[in-house]
Amino acid sequence: MIMRLSMRFLGAITMLGAVALVSPASVAHASLSGPCEATGTFQTGTKSDGSFTVNAKSLGSATVVIPREDTVNWTGAVDVPAQSRSYSGSITVKLPPGFGSVTIDSWNSTSDNVANDGVEEYKLPSLVPAGVTFVVSGQHQEPGATCAGTVHVKIEGGAFDSPLAPVSLVLTGLSGAGFVAVIRPMFRRIV
pLDDT value of residue 5: 30
The overall average pLDDT reported for the chain is: 76
Calculate mean pLDDT across residues 63-81. Answer: 90
Distance CA 163, CA 130 (A): 10
Partners of 150 in the β-ladder: 31, 137
Nearest to 154 by CA among 92, 93, 64, 94: 64
Of the two residues 146 and 25, the one the predictor is more confident about is 146
Cα dihedral 156, 157, 161, 164 sign: positive
DSSP 97: T
Taking only the tens place, the pLDDT of each residue in 147-185 is: 998 888 888 987 666 555 666 667 777 777 666 666 766
pTM of the predicted protein model: 0.64
Of the two residues 75 and 24, the one the predictor is more confident about is 75
- Residue spans of the domains in the chain: they are 1-24+162-191, 26-157
Q: Alpha helix locations (H) across the chain? A: 2-22, 164-183
Cβ–Cβ < 8 Å for 96, 129: yes
Q: Report the first-to-last Cα separation within the chain, whole angstroms.
A: 16
User: What superfamily does domain 26-157 belong to in CATH?
Assistant: Immunoglobulins (2.60.40.10)
pLDDT value of residue 166: 64
pLDDT value of residue 86: 93
For 67-103, letters b (16+ CB in 10 Å) and e give: beebebebebebeeeeeebebebebbbebeeebeeee
Q: Which residues, 6 or more positions from 39, have their beta carbon under 8 angstroms from its beta carbon?
A: 53, 54, 55, 56, 74, 75
Element (H, E) at 103: strand 101-111
Taking only the tens place, the pLDDT of each residue in 24-69 is: 333 335 678 889 888 889 999 998 889 999 888 887 778 899 998 9
